[in-house]
Amino acid sequence: MMETPFTLERELGMQFYATDTQGIGGTLRTVPEDFRVDEIPPSGKSQSAGPYLICRLTKNNWELQHAVKEIARRLNISHRRIGWAGTKDKNAVTTQFISLYKVTPEEIAKFSLKDIVLEPVGQSNEQLSLGDLSGNQFDICIRDADPKDLAGRVEEVTKTASLALPNYFGLQRFGVIRPLTHRIGELILHRDYEQAVMMYVGHAFPHEPEKVKVVRTLFAESRDPLAALKEMPPQMSFERSMLSYLHSHPGDYAGALQQLPPKLLSMFVSAFQSYLFNCALSQRLREGHTLLDPVPGDRLIFTNGRTDAVTEANLSAVKIHLARGRCSIALFMPGKDEMDAVTGNDAIRAILADMQITAEDFREASSFVKTKFDGAWRPVSLKTSIDASVDWTTVRLKFTLPPGHYATTVCREYMKADPIRMV
């Protein structure tokens, strides 16, 4: 195990690698086709009737929220009538399933949008919701890797990935070019809606286009929504909606936030939950605990979702269950329920206390965002069988992950490179 040298990863709680192997470097996503994702739908859910049209969505270099908004605009429907099971990467070629309420196959046949393809595959009585998938298949190329003993280093990490890697939430969970979604979530939990708006609209990042950085800075310094609105590029529709609302409703920052699509708004708070998990996982590793060796006080999550505590009395049995893949060591991502009775979460309790955030704050956020922020257990490790091949300085990785697990978490273990080279 070794610690990351990169400030951004440390700031997002991703502080350790599972291996001491020298990174292969390289660049991810030289072109979108280097990062392919195919969503695996859940089995046994196919239907032939219902008001929801299920479509296979294939997109190339589109951010999902913007793709959904543009699809809704082209179909002349509200974006709230579109549901999906998982959020996919932007700089990639991705295939996933979406549901469209009261949209016909004939309307889809007339649909046309560059780099987006919609294919009707069935009907359903239920809208697709986050988590309605079995997993994702990945086909990834890392280019321009360091050729020195490349095959050997790739083999070493591939072996470790078949056992356990830290199950961090990846960079894209927090924003790729602007990794601040968790900070906005923290501000919402503190009910500091003004600063949340200022951060979303007015916080510029180095890798954004120069024009965008200028207009963000203009708003941050002037706080004049109309002046910023006049300069904000048309494609930045979310920022424009918030600025337009602030111009019409001066000082109503809560209302400005609520101009965002509900699913996007909810992602801020859930990103903060993800950040807490990353921090707690890193704390576990810093204390010398491993991903596979249980200690009394740990919590287990079984494949059926059941949880149990590790004690001195059941430690031997737990090791057998872990070795046979029946369960995983888990950490709790807090939400609106009190944590007093939950074991194995001292690190998260300490972080929440330091940030002065309570279960009541999550309950208030649930009411504001209109999303249930329940707590959830998450395994501390991920493991996957990887088909890895090396062609001179290009490494190709093929593997499958369960829902909510990040391919970039796998790739960072191989690359050990500046995270900006993975976006």
Q: How many CB atoms within 10 Å of residue 323? A: 9
Residue 21, φ and ψ in degrees, nearest 5: -60, 140
Q: How many CB atoms within 10 Å of residue 106? A: 8
Residue 208 DSSP label? S
CA distance 57 to 320: 42
Residue 34 DSSP label? G
Beta strands 52-60 and 16-17, pairing class: unpaired
Any idea what the Cα angle at residue 154 is, between residues 153 and 158, rounded to 5°?
Answer: 120
Cβ neighbourhood burial of 169 (10 Å; 0-12, 13-18, 19+): buried
Q: How many CB atoms within 10 Å of residue 320? A: 9
Catalytic residue among 89, 132, 298, 361: 89
**Tokens linked to 70:** 């543009």
Handedness of CA 79, 242, 9, 176 (dihedral sign): positive
Cβ neighbourhood burial of 341 (10 Å; 0-12, 13-18, 19+): exposed
CA distance 134 to 136: 7
Closest residue by Cα to residue 141 from 320, 390, 342, 371: 390
CA distance 236 to 214: 14
Cβ within 8 Å of residue 382, ≥6 positions away: 164, 165, 166, 167, 401, 402, 405, 409, 410
Active site residue 89: yes
Bridge partners (DSSP) listed for residue 332: 377
CA distance 168 to 16: 10
SS3 at position 122: strand
CA distance 182 to 163: 29
Residue 93 DSSP label? E
**Which residues participate in catalysis according to the annotation?**
89
